[in-house]
Chain A
Amino acid sequence: MREFGYERAYDVSGAVALLGADPEARYLGGGTNLVDLMKTGVERPALLVDVTQLPLDGIEVTADGGLRVGATVTNSDLAAHPEVRLRYPALAQAVLAGASGQLRNMATVGGNLLQRTRCGYFTDRARPCNKRTPGSGCAALEGEHHNHAILGASAHCVATHPSDMAVALAAFDAVVTYETGDGPGELALADFYLPVGDTPHRETALPPGALITHITLPPAPVAAHSRYRKVRERASYAFAIGSVAAALDVRDGVVREVRLAYGAVASRPWRAHAAERALTGGPATAAAFAAAADAELAAAEPLSDNGYKVPLVRNLTVTLLTELTEEAAR
């Protein structure tokens, strides 16, 4: 293994200063993804700046009734927090659907957003991959891609984003706050992940050297009636092959507000705006839910071996919204 420097930061400005704009330096949170990538040589940082001791491990209710989550809050603590469980249950469910208990105890909220794809070609340095080595090609297009993207991909990359947590955050319009040497900034989650295009190696809109400090969930009463459902190839400890975060406010059989986001279908958590538009103000019926999912998935461009994701996500959408409708009727 390549030798690397290690520094521990105790305040945000110190962390940002330690990293500087060194492209060979990386922030180290729980290390559950970065360290694996260092073992396989995909990441070879010269310096790790440990941010786990920063005072960013709190979860607080904001003045307007939302939630502000520190970037170093562990996945376990996020999922267990009473306010999260009460007001954003799909977020707690999504976090608990990911990884294993041991990993969730280590993994941080900020790191979760920044984890890399698990595409096997990305992690095998002997294979071409535009995300790892720009311009080398995409081996997944004609190769093994049964768990690759059906939405928003390009001829340059069809990898998916692996996070469950981010799917729920996308449904709830989360905002990412970060710090740089030039001061703080923020990005709506909708703008946080960049389109794939011909630059799949550029994954987020974070400026160079930026450190995520917080994630803010705006107040959203509809989120209290939400669910996350993940399908994977074994009962636990596997990445999704399809997942749905759904929140529904239904009264008298009419959809007043709905939130839908899909996981494991794109290079980022996929907010299903088209489906939401199709549903809002309309009847809360299985047929309407299916039609809304179809409206969203009309843009799907499956590869030869991942077309099953279309009916999978469609079925999950119908199931979750039906369950939420039944729950509201009780």
Chain B
Amino acid sequence: MTTATGTTRATGAVGAAHTRLEGLAKVTGQARYAGEVPFAELAHGWIVVSTVARGRVRSVDDASVLKMPGVLSVLHHGNAPRLQEGFVGSFGPDPVAEILQRDRVPHIGWPVALVVAETSEQAREAAEALVVHYDTEAHDVGFSAEHSARYTPEASAMGPAVTEKGDLETQLAASDVVVDERYTTPEQHHNAMEPHAAMARWDNGRLEVVDSTQGTLATATDLANLFSLDPASVHVRSEHIGGGFGSKALARAHNVLAVMATTVIGRPVRVVLTRRQMFSLIGYRSPTAQRVRLGAGADGRLRAFDHDGVSLTSTLTEFVEASSAFGRAMYDAEAHRTANHVVPLDVPTPTFMRAPGEAPGSFALESAFDELAEKCGLDPIELRARNEPAVGPVTGLPFASNELLTCFREGARRFGWDSRDPRPGVRRDGRWLVGTGTAAATFPAGAAPSTSAVTAEADGTFTVRINAADVGTGARTALGQVAADGLGVPLERIRVRIGDSDLGQAWLSGGSMGTRSWAWAVMIAVDELRERLALGADIPPEGITVRSDSAEAIGALAEKERHSYGAQFAEVAVDTSTGEVRVRRMLGIFAAGTIVNPLTARSQFVGGMTWGLSMALHEEAIRDHASGALANGDLAGYHFAANADVPVIEADWVDDPDPDDPVGIKGIGEIGIVGAAAAIANAVWHATGVRHRDLPIRPDRVLGAATAPTGGSRA
């Protein structure tokens, strides 16, 4: 399970369920989030966003607003501090961070001013009174796969835009069975429970920012570069985070404007986003339009594989929702092609949202596989067994491990899959038609270099310092468990310090790589510390500290296909007379490395699966073409699964320690959502005999399908 680091399992902390170290503080309200940390002399900023989708700010009538009670300042493009032009952030060029720098309005909901006042209420009232004049231009927010502005990008953060081998058309022509279908997923939003919030102040020449961020160092570095500051003079803290899901790491309106405002007025300033503002300022998941072509022999073995995905981006910058990347390591074929395209529109910039690419891509591809299984007369699990790749289909690299079929077999056994009647539309329970479905899940398993420091204190306790972020998933606790095991001491003797840019370089909470990356650095330090303590030296009052950097160890990893896997199962009930779909139960079995804390890991899996249910049946941001605004940009209109929608969801895992990781970790943050929507859509087909290729599976679509061959007409 472990390599040269020779970890012992003296305490058995890793693998044992443990409540969050900060759990009591959170449930008793003692834990402070970024919007709650008190500061003397605090002023409050309220963001004013554009009400037009494209154009220029002609003027900002700030004179009357400046006379309103409590108002301290109104910042806009005409007077705001200058930021670095052509800013390059932690993830590349990032014009989204260049706020109040020019008069151009790239989309509706773009920040055009910040009102700063003594109280939040005064700032809000003044912000609502502020009149902004625009020169409007015609806008285009209409996404479609065939849009004339569509192009194929260069490589993105998600890998190459296109991969291909073999002759697709030849293999399709030679196939006994062909599936050629189009699938769509709508615009979806990650509105974390805790809104984005930041407090900024200057303290003895140093900029201090209390933020809600998945990576304090990324935020600090970006703010330093934006404001042309010495990186050492920027200090970002983020002790507790109420969810991020990919939306909280970058320099964005809340933290950029807080820094601007404190610089201008010389007092601490807090900026908190509203729910509605979150729908335009923090990114979201692009809608996708996908086409999947599968060609197979009568035995179900693939000859042709083609997955083509289109997503949108803003006119500011390119973000690619790489839906077709999902199948690159999953299925092989004689001819294998994946491609992603983007359409730039006058809309807010999309971003990473839990399982970017994999979430929508798995819906299309795993639905198409179910259709192929139907056409081949094969059980869907058997179809996947017949198409298990020997090596990476695109890379040709060996797999570090691939336990997909183990997940399917264990899941099938526990779900009762073997007794399933494959015929669709034949099981009735009162007004409900009942069906079951399954789908595969995968997510890359990676690690990124990080540093840490572990101190043996004179009193016999230990302090772990690593710039990790606990987005609510229990990272602090998991790292304590890892250190406890490595040191052979009880968890109670471990103190974990995270969420502070002064702690140094470490990977952020993202890409399902947080716990693994941080634990690796901690293990290196812990191993060395344990060896030094074994020599029996006295511990001085300042303790003994060992620092580590995992860059070398991670750099030495052999190139392989490294992934987590999962098998999703769902049972649904459908009333075709009303269009209602209810999920009755879900089961997810995952092969995702060593599970450090089963309690919090299960929560992450179940949370991801719940989100997949929500994606399948509920979530859809609807853009009003006339205005360019969302017609349902708040939590009253943007429906996600409510408690009554969420049935018994069971998540479990098979043994799958990563052979090259010191703790065996792979990462579990995102795989829970992958494939879940496809399993539900496949179950709806099994219940009703109707394929739903457009998400969400709304009542009007189910009703429409019951009376017409196509789904609902709503765009």
- From residue B272, how far is it (CB to closest CB) to chain A in Å? 14
- From residue A38, how far is it (CB to closest CB) to chain B in Å? 12
Does A231 contact B579, Cβ atoms closer than 8 Å? Answer: yes
Is the contact region of chain A dominated by helix, strand, or loop, or is it mixed?
loop
Does B629 contact A241, Cβ atoms closer than 8 Å? Answer: no
Does B642 contact A235, Cβ atoms closer than 8 Å? Answer: yes
Does A304 contact B713, Cβ atoms closer than 8 Å? Answer: yes
Known contacts A231-B578, A234-B639; A144/B631 CB under 8 A: yes
Does B631 contact A120, Cβ atoms closer than 8 Å? Answer: yes
* Number of A-B contacts defined by CB within 8 Å: 98
Does A312 contact B639, Cβ atoms closer than 8 Å? Answer: no
Complex Cα distance, B643 from A304, in Å, reads 32
- From residue A155, how far is it (CB to closest CB) to chain B in Å? 16
Task: Give the residues from 116 to 149 in chain B that come closer than 8 angstroms, CB to CB, to chain A.
Answer: 121, 124-125, 128
Say which one of A17-25, A121-129, A171-179 lies at the interface with B.
A121-129
Does A1 contact B125, Cβ atoms closer than 8 Å? Answer: yes
**Cβ-defined partner of A233 (8 Å) among B627, B633, B699:** B699
Does B395 make an interface contact (CB < 8 A)?
no
Does A135 make an interface contact (CB < 8 A)?
no
**Cβ-defined partner of B627 (8 Å) among A36, A126, A146, A311:** A126
Does A143 contact B642, Cβ atoms closer than 8 Å? Answer: no
Known contacts A142-B626, A146-B714, A236-B642; A121/B631 CB under 8 A: yes
In the bound complex, residues from chain B placing their C-beta under 8 Å from that of A121 are 624, 631
Does A238 contact B639, Cβ atoms closer than 8 Å? Answer: yes
Complex Cα distance, B704 from A121, in Å, reads 26
Complex Cα distance, B713 from A118, in Å, reads 22
- From residue B245, how far is it (CB to closest CB) to chain A in Å? 20
Complex Cα distance, B577 from A318, in Å, reads 10
Does B60 make an interface contact (CB < 8 A)?
no
Does A144 contact B618, Cβ atoms closer than 8 Å? Answer: no
Complex Cα distance, B631 from A143, in Å, reads 8
Q: Which residue of B lies closest to A242 (CB)?
A: B578
Does A118 contact B636, Cβ atoms closer than 8 Å? Answer: yes
Does B420 make an interface contact (CB < 8 A)?
no
Does A7 make an interface contact (CB < 8 A)?
no
Complex Cα distance, B646 from A234, in Å, reads 10
**Cβ-defined partner of A1 (8 Å) among B124, B578, B579, B625:** B124
Task: Give the residues from 634 to 691 in chain B that come closer than 8 angstroms, CB to CB, to chain A.
Answer: 634, 636-637, 639-645
Does B545 make an interface contact (CB < 8 A)?
no
Does A234 contact B645, Cβ atoms closer than 8 Å? Answer: yes
**Cβ-defined partner of B644 (8 Å) among A124, A143, A236, A304:** A236
Complex Cα distance, B124 from A41, in Å, reads 11
**Cβ-defined partner of A308 (8 Å) among B622, B625, B643, B712:** B712
Does B90 make an interface contact (CB < 8 A)?
no
Complex Cα distance, B618 from A92, in Å, reads 27
In the bound complex, residues from chain A placing their C-beta under 8 Å from that of B617 are 234
Does B505 make an interface contact (CB < 8 A)?
no
Binary flags per residue of B614-628, CB closer than 8 Å to A gives 1, else 0 = 000110001011110
Complex Cα distance, B707 from A286, in Å, reads 18
**Cβ-defined partner of A312 (8 Å) among B579, B631, B632, B643:** B579
Binary flags per residue of A225-259, CB closer than 8 Å to B gives 1, else 0 = 00000010111111001100000000000000000
Does A326 make an interface contact (CB < 8 A)?
no
Does A319 contact B703, Cβ atoms closer than 8 Å? Answer: no
Task: Give the residues from 259 to 286 in chain A that come closer than 8 angstroms, CB to CB, to chain B.
Answer: none
Does A191 make an interface contact (CB < 8 A)?
no
Does B579 contact A126, Cβ atoms closer than 8 Å? Answer: no
In the bound complex, residues from chain A placing their C-beta under 8 Å from that of B189 are none
Does A297 make an interface contact (CB < 8 A)?
no
Does B625 contact A237, Cβ atoms closer than 8 Å? Answer: no
Does A235 contact B644, Cβ atoms closer than 8 Å? Answer: yes
In the bound complex, residues from chain B placing their C-beta under 8 Å from that of A330 are none
Known contacts A118-B636, A124-B629, A127-B629; A237/B644 CB under 8 A: yes
Does B639 contact A308, Cβ atoms closer than 8 Å? Answer: no
- From residue A37, how far is it (CB to closest CB) to chain B in Å? 11
In the bound complex, residues from chain B placing their C-beta under 8 Å from that of A231 are 578-580, 699
Does A305 contact B644, Cβ atoms closer than 8 Å? Answer: no
Known contacts A127-B627, A236-B644, A315-B577; A144/B622 CB under 8 A: yes
Does B51 make an interface contact (CB < 8 A)?
yes
Does A113 make an interface contact (CB < 8 A)?
no
Known contacts A41-B128, A120-B632; A127/B645 CB under 8 A: no
Does A139 make an interface contact (CB < 8 A)?
yes
Binary flags per residue of B418-437, CB closer than 8 Å to A gives 1, else 0 = 00000000000001000000
Binary flags per residue of A193-236, CB closer than 8 Å to B gives 1, else 0 = 00000000000000000000000000000000000000101111
Does A308 contact B124, Cβ atoms closer than 8 Å? Answer: no
Q: Which residue of B lies closest to A309 (CB)?
A: B700
Complex Cα distance, B624 from A123, in Å, reads 14
Does B698 make an interface contact (CB < 8 A)?
yes
Does A126 contact B577, Cβ atoms closer than 8 Å? Answer: no
Does A95 make an interface contact (CB < 8 A)?
no
Complex Cα distance, B633 from A146, in Å, reads 16
Does B582 make an interface contact (CB < 8 A)?
yes
- From residue B52, how far is it (CB to closest CB) to chain A in Å? 9
- From residue A117, how far is it (CB to closest CB) to chain B in Å? 12
**Cβ-defined partner of A126 (8 Å) among B51, B634, B636, B704:** B51
In the bound complex, residues from chain A placing their C-beta under 8 Å from that of B124 are 1
Complex Cα distance, B700 from A142, in Å, reads 18
Task: Give the residues from 135 to 177 in chain A that come closer than 8 angstroms, CB to CB, to chain B.
Answer: 139, 142-144, 146
In the bound complex, residues from chain A placing their C-beta under 8 Å from that of B624 are 121, 127, 139, 143-144
Task: Give the residues from 382 to 435 in chain B that come closer than 8 angstroms, CB to CB, to chain A.
Answer: 431
Complex Cα distance, B51 from A41, in Å, reads 15
- From residue A241, how far is it (CB to closest CB) to chain B in Å? 6
Task: Give the residues from 44 to 77 in chain A that come closer than 8 angstroms, CB to CB, to chain B.
Answer: none
Complex Cα distance, B698 from A175, in Å, reads 36
Does A15 make an interface contact (CB < 8 A)?
no
Known contacts A1-B124, A139-B626, A233-B618; A312/B51 CB under 8 A: no
Complex Cα distance, B640 from A233, in Å, reads 9
In the bound complex, residues from chain A placing their C-beta under 8 Å from that of B640 are 234
Complex Cα distance, B703 from A315, in Å, reads 10
Does B579 contact A308, Cβ atoms closer than 8 Å? Answer: yes
**Cβ-defined partner of B707 (8 Å) among A124, A311, A318:** A311
Q: Which residue of B lies closest to A307 (CB)?
A: B713
Complex Cα distance, B121 from A319, in Å, reads 51
**A-B pairs, 7 with minimum CB distance:** A144-B631, A236-B644, A235-B644, A308-B700, A315-B577, A126-B51, A305-B714
Can you list 6 residue pairs at the A/B interface with Cβ under 8 Å?
A127-B629, A143-B625, A146-B712, A234-B644, A312-B578, A312-B579
Beyond contacts A121-B624, A236-B643, A236-B645: 11 other A-B pairs, Cβ-Cβ < 8 A, are A124-B629, A127-B629, A142-B626, A146-B712, A233-B698, A233-B699, A234-B618, A238-B639, A242-B578, A305-B714, A308-B699
Binding site for B on A (CB under 8 A): 1-2, 36, 41, 118, 120-121, 123-124, 126-127, 139, 142-144, 146, 231, 233-238, 241-242, 304-305, 307-308, 311-312, 315-316, 318-319
